[in-house]
Amino acid sequence: MKKVFKIIGITLLTILLLLIAIPFAFQSKIKEVVKRTINENLNAHVEFSDVNLSFIRSFPQAQVNVSDLVITNFEPFKDETLATAKSISLNMSVKELFKKASDEPIVINKINIDEALITLKTNKRGETNYDILKDENKDENKDEKENSSAGFTLDVKDYSIDNSAITYLDESSNTTFYITEFNHSGKGKFSETVSELETKTESRISLRIDSTDYLSNNELKLDALIDLDLDNNKYTFKENKAFINKLPLEFHGYVQLLEAGQDIDITFENPGSDFRDFLAIIPETYSKNIEDVQTTGNFKLKGMIKGLLTDETIPNLDIQVSSNNASFKYPDLPKRVDNITINAAVKNTTGKSDDTYIDINAFNFKIDQDAFKSSATLKNITKNMLINADIDGVLNLANLTKAYPIKLEKELSGILKAKLNTAFDMNAIETNAYERIKNNGSASITDFIFSSEDMVNPIHIKKANMTFNPGTVSLNNFDAVTGKSDLHANGTIKNLLGFLLSDNKLQGNFNVNSNLFIISDFMVESKTASNNNKTTSKKESLKIPEFLDCTIQADAKTVVYDNLNLENVQGTLVIKDQQATLKNMTTNIFNGKLAVIGNVSTQKETPTFNINLGAENFDISKAFKDLDLLQALAPIAKILEGKLNSTISLSGSLDKEFTPDLTTVSGNAFAELLTTDINTEDSKILSLLGSTLKFIDFNKLDLKDLKTNLTFKDGLVNLKPFTIKYEDIDIHINGAHGFDKNINYNVVLDVPAKYLGSDINRLIGKINDPKVNKISIPVTANITGSFNNPNVKTDLSSAVTKLTKQLIEIEKQKLLDQGSNAIKDFLQGITEESNSANQDSTFIQTDTIKTNNTINNGIKDILGGLLSGKKNKKDSIK
């Protein structure tokens, strides 16, 4: 109240300064003079867009309009806006413009302030932004008060404030008070020391202290006739009637402004005693039209506020609410609420704000046969509120909307039974100081259906029993279904009250069993409601619920993730900050066993994962058929049949279906093939290689005990070189492929000479040297294109040519070791002719072979078969 009168005083003073300036600011100078006069008297900066004086608009009266007034503070609230007003208009007789300050009172017929926005603030140091009157002006006012003949007087016949709002912020007490839709008008004579003020007020008010809303957009109406004793600053309420929402109140008493505060002595009560008045307290948004509601029983609200309101004290309070054996029934609803008993009070007997308390001795009611009883005390309500409450009763949640017109996003259902006592302070709830939270009793709920924007499907809790212990809540059993998934749990909840009463997360340790657990049944998709009995749409990525902070020991017979069915899932799941961490998770899949550690996070817009997998005895064909990731890592593996051991480390992003986005995946993998068979008919690459390299039957490759490593990043899989064997052929493989199935592989085969055709074999036979049988050459096959449309190029032809030359050189050396100088001359000639031969021929071609009579016939026979004949048309390879 003190703050309200200060604002009224400041507002009137501002208007007063405007009036003083008007006579001196006649015609063109009015704007500059008014601005200068105001700024000289206020510790604030005042601006307005225009000042207009009109003799025509309200003839025969004069009208002064000030447009777009803005008052901004100096330090310590520099440049903060104290008040704005769209317009201030003053209507008066023309002769009033020519009065001086020391003359008789200036009579203003009407003052109107339109769309004023006032923000009052008290910071943590106790400094206020509305104490803007200059000290010298205050001293002058004191002198003027002592010498009334020199004073400036104002006689206002009619005033109004329309479509305005006032905000009060007190940082020291964490208090916010809002007055919105404020419309106030009054009539009176302020020039007389004792006069009357007749007022009408309509507004909406909200009050929050700390995190508690005591008033929330409540409608307020007040018609009051007030005696004004201006000499003593005393304001006495004579005839008045107020409405809070639709509750009528009559009050009497006075408010007197003192130098150190305010002296308040007010009593009030509702004039009737019908229980309908209780429903009238509740905002109409929730209570709806109460005119046709059937009620029985009484209701009484009365109170007393008496004492000093200062910086250190508040008045004594005694506000009581009572009702006995009441009932009500809305005409359009099927249920009646009976046996209503209310006995509550707000009291303060010491004048210290911290000693204010609320005592709810009884709040009882009955719907059908379900009786609900409760009581509570709330102390230290202006600081760290202390709460002690008892609840004992049964409540069918579905009856709430059948007895009272409350609108819920989702219909409630289920039977709640509770018998418990709880004692705690709000700071303990907010900081999880469990040792200061005392709970005793039990509660159960059956057939409860809960839906939230944090869950994709409603949860149907078939049965849940809890025992309340000091500091914790024991979840004895919990049976629920959501979507197609079932849950059976027990464990300990650390902060159930913190979760229910504040923004704290639900903390606990649980043992969870399930016969069928479908991951997507528990994920958030978006905050936009949709159909199909789901609370969310499919426009956004799935999210891990933000309110969960718990550790779960899981044991599920079947877990469905994407298109995978995981059997006998066991392990630890830690959920916190929208991140799920898997620890020692094992499952049976693909006829083998899989171990998983890592995490999935939905903290950012795009979900991410970081997982380590260990596979043991996987069925290769099943794994590479059903798991897209494995198909991308090793597409060729789908032709294998057998067992696989593997370890995979990978990280990346998840798409909107909560499956890996392969373009973002990176990591490494190690694979060990156990017993395997190969089906080349399903591989275009092996079929093409088989038709090119006819000396290898790829169906007979032995891949047992093969070990290989690969790395992957940015959609590209790099294969670390490894070697496999086919009979006595070593096959070296390296290269890379993309997740888009494009390939670039090099296969190098160490091929023994004996596999390279009959002509090569004849050369080897003629040389008849054991070392020659061990000669092998590298044959390179480059594989490009894609897995579905591969290209294979080999250097087989050039390799055979090189081998032929190598065999000739060996035989030449052998003959050199055995022959004479003549043979050497002869071979020299052959060498020269060989060097001029066609380089692409498999055999050396000569036009004429001249023999020396001194060459031994035996040597001629040896060389004859090697050096005679024509060039073959093509390689002969088997």
The distance from CA 583 to its chain's CA centroid, rounded to whole angstroms, is 24
pLDDT, residue 835, reads 46
Name the DSSP letter for residue 128: B
The average pLDDT across 726-741 equals 85
More confident residue, 132 or 638: 132
Question: pTM (2 decimals)?
Answer: 0.59
More confident residue, 30 or 812: 812
Distance CA 530, CA 534 (A): 6
3-state secondary structure (DSSP) of residue 630: helix
- Residue 147 above 60 pLDDT? no
Most confidently modeled range among 334-338, 349-353, 454-458, 641-645 = 334-338
Do 368 and 456 fall within a single domain? no
**Cβ atoms of 218 and 244 closer than 8 Å:** yes
Q: And the tokens for 633?
A: 């890592």
- Residue 431 above 80 pLDDT? no
Distances (CA, A) of 205 to 6, 215, 248, 347, 383: 19, 7, 16, 22, 22
- Residue 749 above 60 pLDDT? yes
- Which residues, in sequence order, are CB contacts of 733 under 8 Å at separation 6+? 719, 721, 722, 723, 724, 745, 746, 747, 748
- Residue 860 above 70 pLDDT? no
Instruction: Report which secondary-structure segment, H or E, holds 745.
Output: strand 743-752
Residue 337 burial by Cβ neighbours in a 10 Å radius (0-12, 13-18, 19+): buried
Do 472 and 384 fall within a single domain? no
- Residue 302 above 80 pLDDT? yes
**Cβ atoms of 599 and 582 closer than 8 Å:** yes
Residue 626 lies in a domain: no
Name the DSSP letter for residue 42: B
Residue 341 lies in a domain: yes
Residue 778 lies in a domain: yes
Give the domain-ending residue among 577, 598, 627: 577
Give the domain-ending residue among 349, 384, 407: 407
Do 402 and 254 fall within a single domain? yes
Distance CA 540, CA 656 (A): 6
Name the DSSP letter for residue 105: P
Q: And the tokens for 708?
A: 């290989």
Q: What is the DSSP string of 787-809?
A: SSSEEEEE-HHHHHHHHHHHHHH
Which of 584, 508, 505, 582 is closest to 545 using CA atoms?
A: 505
Distance CA 229, CA 234 (A): 5
Q: What percent of the chain has pLDDT over 90?
A: 21
Residue 349 lies in a domain: yes
In single-letter form, the type of residue at position 645 comes to N
Which of 582, 507, 578, 499 is closest to 544 using CA atoms?
A: 578
More confident residue, 447 or 216: 447
Query: Percent helix, strand and coil across the chain, each rounded to 5?
Result: 25, 50, 25
Strand partners, 308: 263
Do 28 and 115 fall within a single domain? yes
Residue 721 lies in a domain: no
pLDDT, residue 27, reads 44
**Cβ atoms of 154 and 108 closer than 8 Å:** yes
Range of 285's domain? Answer: 245-407
**Cβ atoms of 445 and 464 closer than 8 Å:** yes
pLDDT, residue 84, reads 92
Confidence of residue 9 (pLDDT cuts 50, 70, 90): low
pLDDT, residue 660, reads 82
More confident residue, 139 or 664: 664
How many C-beta atoms surround the C-beta of residue 457 within 10 A? 21
Do 332 and 257 fall within a single domain? yes
Do 76 and 159 fall within a single domain? yes
Instruction: Report which secondary-structure segment, H or E, holds 19.
Output: helix 2-24
Confidence of residue 8 (pLDDT cuts 50, 70, 90): low
250-264, 762-776, 853-867: least confident range: 853-867
Q: What is the DSSP string of 830-858?
A: HHHHHHTS-TT-SS---S-----TTS-HH
- Residue 116 above 80 pLDDT? yes
Instruction: Report which secondary-structure segment, H or E, holds 261.
Output: strand 261-269
pLDDT, residue 430, reads 75
The distance from CA 385 to its chain's CA centroid, rounded to whole angstroms, is 29
How many C-beta atoms surround the C-beta of residue 131 within 10 A? 11
- Residue 597 above 90 pLDDT? yes
pLDDT per residue over 307-320, tens digit each? Answer: 998 878 889 999 99
Confidence of residue 388 (pLDDT cuts 50, 70, 90): very high
Residue 814 lies in a domain: yes
Q: And the tokens for 335?
A: 């249920």
pLDDT, residue 226, reads 85
Q: What percent of the chain has pLDDT over 70?
A: 76
Do 129 and 254 fall within a single domain? no
Distance CA 154, CA 107 (A): 6
Do 368 and 477 fall within a single domain? no
Instruction: Report which secondary-structure segment, H or E, holds 137.
Output: helix 135-146
The beta strand positions in 314-458, using DSSP E, are: 316-329, 337-348, 357-367, 370-379, 386-396, 415-425, 438-450
How many C-beta atoms surround the C-beta of residue 605 within 10 A? 8
pLDDT per residue over 404-413, tens digit each? Answer: 888 776 777 8
- Residue 443 above 60 pLDDT? yes
Instruction: Report which secondary-structure segment, H or E, holds 117.
Output: strand 106-122
pLDDT, residue 322, reads 93
pLDDT, residue 445, reads 92
Do 118 and 262 fall within a single domain? no
Give the domain-ending residue among 407, 429, 451: 407
Distance CA 212, CA 386 (A): 13
The average pLDDT across 354-382 equals 91
Average confidence score pLDDT of the chain:
77
More confident residue, 376 or 698: 376
376-385, 513-522, 850-859: least confident range: 850-859
Do 94 and 199 fall within a single domain? yes
pLDDT per residue over 58-88, tens digit each? Answer: 556 777 788 888 888 888 888 889 899 999 8
pLDDT per residue over 542-562, tens digit each? Answer: 678 788 889 999 999 998 877
Confidence of residue 662 (pLDDT cuts 50, 70, 90): confident
The average pLDDT across 176-189 equals 87
Distance CA 707, CA 711 (A): 14
Do 189 and 291 fall within a single domain? no
Q: And the tokens for 637?
A: 């593996």
Residue 505 lies in a domain: yes
pLDDT, residue 870, reads 35
Residue 731 lies in a domain: no
Which of 322, 312, 390 is closest to 352 using CA atoms?
A: 312
pLDDT, residue 155, reads 64
More confident residue, 687 or 27: 687
pLDDT, residue 367, reads 93
pLDDT per residue over 476-504, tens digit each? Answer: 999 999 989 999 999 998 877 777 767 77
Phi-psi region of 288 (alpha: psi -120 to 50; beta: other; left: phi over 0): left
**Cis peptide leading into residue 405 (ω within 30°):** no
More confident residue, 515 or 827: 515
The total number of structural domains in the chain stands at 4
In single-letter form, the type of residue at position 655 comes to D
Do 173 and 249 fall within a single domain? no
Distance CA 827, CA 532 (A): 92
